[in-house]
Structure 1
Amino acid sequence: METYPMIRKCLVVGIILVFLGASTTLNMNVSSTNPQLPRVVQQHIQAIQQDVIGQPCLVGNVLISNNIGNDYHPRMTTNRLDQTIVVYEQEINLMSKKVPVVYSADHGQTWTMQFLVDSKDIIDSAASGILQYPDIVYNAQNDLLYLSMIDPDAEAYNQEMGFIDGDIANATEGIWYGISPAGGMGFFYTACTCTKNFFLSLVTEDYGEESTQYLGLLWCTYPDFTYPPGLGGYYYDGQSLFQSAPAAQLEMDSNSNQLFSVFETRLDSGTKISIKTNVMDEELITSGEQKGGMDKYGDPEQMPGEYLGFGTDPDVSGSGNKVCVVYVEEGNVICKSSTTSTVYDPGFNWQVSTVESNASAPAIYVQGDNVYCAYVIGGNLYLKVSEDGGVTWGAAEQKNDVDKTVVAEKGAVDICRGGIAFTDTRNGNYDIYYAPFVAAPTPIVVIDSISGGFGVTAVIKNIGDASIDTFNWRMTVEGNILGGNKTITGIAALPPGVSMTIQRFMVGFGAVMVTVTADTATASKDFKLFLIFFKEV
């Protein structure tokens, strides 16, 4: 396997900053390790708040794109208000594609186009006017919507991303960025995800004549759009440990423990499904720890990777300590499910199931033990549900109401809590439709924080939408403890959205590690203990 060690890190040579919703130019210096950004241009474009005429059909399909041309690649999320937000490619003609940001506040019955993103508004003369492959994720910690997309033919600033207030119905403007990684060209795919406070944008790009569709990863913060401390900011995957390129069909997600990237890797032996993982722990991510002369937690080259098998068109979803990946293998939709831990390279205990035969365009959403998989057979859209984390599946339910018009191409379907966005040709061109479904209420218990001071405190929270009547919790302190039990345990119950606090006072000296487990969630943190004072390290 060829490797390219000189392209692991990249200098970001240009950036455009745009407020979607007067015009200011800022000049700054930049380096690959100093999180400062050059050539910043600031503009304002107001939210448009254009109502989309929802057209409910027999089983609840609603047309959410009103373009006379073709629309592609829907991606969706939900916010804290249970509003559904969808982005997609709106093709005006062969030389013009824009990205609408639409939302529904009534479970998909009516829709509003709050923003219409045009690369010519963002990067002006450098833009080609073609935006493609949008992605969107909701960040609960900061109540933000984070988006990424690509202008593949722009002269510069091909990689674009933006932030919109999580309460999208009242958002009047967004903030938008375009960046130019040094030496990058041939941008095509992108996906995004986030930790609590860090935002990631993954792209495929060419780097030289022989480095085709390599992974490029940006880390950034909000609202200052700097790199997180301890990171170099933008990285290429030089493939010294795992051959990830040529990569295509990027998808990203996370659970309480891990970040996940899945994609096709097009090898000489055939196309394989790849997964790369990283921790969600921001203290580890910003620790500055090195591995092989590279940032252990920031560089995708160092992130653990494996092939899941031969296949195409992957999707990934995580919840709690669980992750599920679906893809198409020899015409069958395959699901691989596993639990995860908080360690850097946890490995997986994959369980394999066949969701459906002779199917395509799979999309998956996980909430607790419930897994929802949408897919296409014979031009129709179906939904199956697993109640045991993706091991077994219930009966298929058809979700479209006009027969044999659902598009089965890669990326034509997406799913999230309560609904499916899909591409359909019933009107003679490619349009985006929405089909609602009722997701089972599910409790999701997470370790919200572990903090020091006089004693150590852990906050456990139920971020799901159902009560958990009973679960076990445990706090263990390992290290130089003078007397007392190192472990305390208990049983608790939590309504949705409610937190509980565990606090311990112990006497000791030196390095200690605190590990908290609640239901299926686990988190650890290192401290220096000075008598009864826990100092974070």
Structure 2
Amino acid sequence: MKMKIGAFLVMSMLVVSVGAVMLNKTERVGPKISLSKANFHIEKEVCKSYQTYNDILRPKMIATLGTDIQITGQETDEIHPAIANDNSGNVLIGFEADLRGDGEYNVWFTYSPDGGATWAENAIAWQIETPELPSVDYWGEGNRFFGTMVPNPYEEDGSILYLMECTNPADFEEGYTLVGWTWSDVGDGYYNFVDMAIACDDGVENWAWGGVSIIGDHGSGLIQTPFFSYQFTEDGYAWIYRWSTGGDEFTFEYCQSTTMDIDPVTHMAYPVWNYLNPETGVLDLLFSKFDFGTWEPYDSYQVHPEVGGGLINTSVNDQNIDISAYNDNVIIVSQTDEYGNQDITCYYSTDGMNSVGVSIIANSSDDEMYPKVVHTGDNTAVCIFVKNGNLYQSTTEDGGATWSEPIMINDVSGTVEEDYHTADVCKLGAIWTDNRNGNADLFFDSVGAFAVISIDSISGGFGVTATISNIGNAPAENVEWSIDLEGGLILLGKHKEGVIPSLAPGASTTVKTGFILGIGKTTASVAADGTTAQASGFVLGPFVLGMK
């Protein structure tokens, strides 16, 4: 059943001029690039309508464990996976499949509770016209994930922005919901969405989940042009942006892929698109930068301020792009064709895209394709890509300036599908489409060697105690932690911090506030190596009661 709420409201045009930014060239071999000033004419409109989808579908999953962990094993194909992890070892995935055996493909979501070692024997989808190409991300706190997917072109002219929210990956009865905004009737119409990427952030209110970058058509005559959308009120109002209008002297059109990430430290959002440069005939990159850590007024509404952006112009085609951002280190990976075949190129920045360098991740005589990238810490990241039917990983420890020699991930050679969105990566591992069993199944394996810090629990009693674990596959060294109490009257013990000298993979330890003294409701905020968690309780003298 669909429930439609509200009506559409069209807003006026906003014109933004973005200042010039400088190019930081690298000495490594790679395509020549320029990072240029972009005079963006950004127009945005608002939608006050969303739909709630209540018709849920449920299948049975098949999981077979091995060195490469097989997630699905149906006789039909499971393809185009997306993956994200939280700070407690939960891994959420979305993928396309016919899990009911009725010949109808859908986008399904399921999870692993233990970093990918085992997988739930259940999944969830909704009774909607066949969508494709899911994208998922972790919100930043608790076990909350969000996802989206490309709508069917025959449902609302392919104009629905789906938003899947997961508040508890283990709860397939009430832990997953789906809503959608329809954009075909807004202004001149936004429709025929062909690629989408979601990025999430907890920088402001709980209902503000993040944003989605989109490629679609516009009623002014634009074909496969960049869009960007996010919710800006608790009751569901949402903006949609575009970067050009039909009839402009210079238009951003014929995009092939889009990507987006939000820096969890600075809360800066970076949507990116490739587009066909009408002056050079090659696929160049357009990016923008929004502050998702604040709102500023716009007419009678509010917006995340647009604080930067530009064009990365090269002499090569940039395809199948992906991005990761952490603490102003921004890494964009791209499939390029400088030498006639396909290679993997990195565009990296250490100052929030004010300057950009270029490096090569892989450029053998074979085709390297379909890169994905994720940060694993400050200036450290892992990139995966496909070559000759195999999935490879390469890592950087200097923010993208140099990359390690690629290492093959899959154990059975030549079985990885070579297709757009064939693989994805998160901190805890990579997921890919594999044909070793005669059809396309999903497989998972860990990548790289790095620590992943998790805050497992926060409890009360005599003060506040937090359990901190390393759910990664490498030792964690000098883990800085802190506990802060906010609210109530705290006379002693409001703040405590320290350093865990070493934490082995799979190991846990507890940290404590020690003696506190106060009274009233309070919230304990725990931070460890960039991971945060909160719990609330009641302080009564030296005791904390009812912590949850």
Q: Secondary structure at the match of 1:186?
A: strand
Equivalent in the alignment of 2:407: 397
Q: In the aligned structure 1, how far is the partner of 2:435 from the partner of 2:296?
A: 47
For residue 199 of structure 1, report the CA deviation from its aligned partner.
2.4
Match of 2:177 among 157, 175, 178: 175
**Aligned to 2:118, which of 110, 118, 125?**
110
TM-score by length of 2: 0.66
Match of 1:386 among 390, 396, 403: 396
Give the superposition deviation at 1:390.
2.0
Q: Does structure 1 retain, via aligned residues, the 8 Å contact 2:434–2:443?
A: yes
| 1:61 partnered with 2:77 | no
8 Å CA contact 2:217, 2:224 repeated in 1: yes
Asked whether 1:99 is paired with 2:107, we answer: yes
| Alpha-carbon distance in structure 2 between the residues aligned to 1:238 and 1:414 | 30
**How many residues end up aligned between the 2 structures?**
418
State the match for 1:251 in structure 2: 259
Aligned partners of 1:374 and 1:381 also within 8 Å = yes
Which residue of 304, 329, 332 corresponds with 2:343?
332
Task: Show the counterpart of 1:450.
Answer: none
Identity %, equivalent residues: 18
2:330 pairs with one of 323, 330, 336: 323
* CA 1:320–1:335: 2 relative to 1, 3 Å: same
Contact 1:132 1:150 in 2 (8 A): yes
Structure 2 residue 56 is the aligned partner of structure 1 residue 78: no
Code of the residue aligned with 1:179 in structure 2: it is W
1:148 equivalent in structure 2 = 148
1:420: how far off? 0.7
For the Cα contact (< 8 Å) 1:353–1:390, is it kept in 2? Answer: no
Q: For 1:185-204, what aligned pairs fall within 5 Å after superposition?
A: 185-196=191-202, 197-204=208-215
**CA separation of 1:271 and 1:169: change in aligned 2, threshold 3 A:** farther
Question: Are the aligned partners of 2:47 and 2:181 in contact in 1 as well (CA < 8 Å)?
Answer: no
C-alpha distance after superposition, 1:268-319 (max 9, x if no partner): 5344241413233432x434399xxx998567xx961312533211111112
The corresponding residue for 2:190 is 184
Q: Residue 76 of structure 2: SS of its match in structure 1?
A: coil
Q: Aligned partners of 1:145 and 1:425: how far apart in 2?
A: 29
Partners of 2:390 and 2:74 lie apart in 1 by 22
Question: 5 Å matches for 1:160-171?
Answer: 160-171=161-172
| Alpha-carbon distance in 2 for matches of 1:380, 1:79 | 27
Alpha-carbon distance in 1 for matches of 2:282, 2:512: 45
Give me the TM-score of the superposition, normalised by structure 1: 0.68
Report the RMSD for the aligned CA atoms in angstroms. 3.9
| Distance in 2 between residues matched to 1:94 and 1:266, nearest whole Å | 40
Q: Find the residue that maps to 1:140 and give its secondary structure.
A: coil
* Aligned partner (choices 215, 220, 237) of residue 226 of structure 1: 237
**Residue identity opposite 2:8 in structure 1:** V
3-state SS, counterpart of residue 371 of structure 1:
strand
Q: Deviations over 1:219-263 (max 9, x none)?
A: 115863234xxxxx2222226697432212222112133212233
Supply the AA of the counterpart residue of 2:153: D
Amino acid at match of 2:190: G
Residue 215 (structure 1) aligned with residue 226 (structure 2) = yes
Given that residues 146 and 161 in structure 1 are in contact (C-alpha distance below 8 angstroms), is that contact kept between their aligned partners in structure 2? no
| Aligned partner of residue 192 in structure 2, secondary structure | coil
- Tell whether the 8 Å contact from 1:54 to 1:63 is kept in structure 2 after alignment: yes
Gaps of 5+ in 1: 1-22, 123-128, 228-232, 445-462, 472-491, 501-518, 521-537
Whether the 8 Å contact between 1:414 and 1:421 is mirrored in structure 2 is yes
Structure 2: give runs of 5+ residues left out of the alignment: 12-44, 203-207, 455-469, 482-496, 504-509, 514-528, 531-548
Instruction: Give distance in 2, aligned partners of 1:339 and 1:241.
Output: 33
Q: What amino acid is the match of 1:399? A: I
Tell me, in whole angstroms, the C-alpha distance in 2 between the residues paired with 1:414 and 1:103.
15
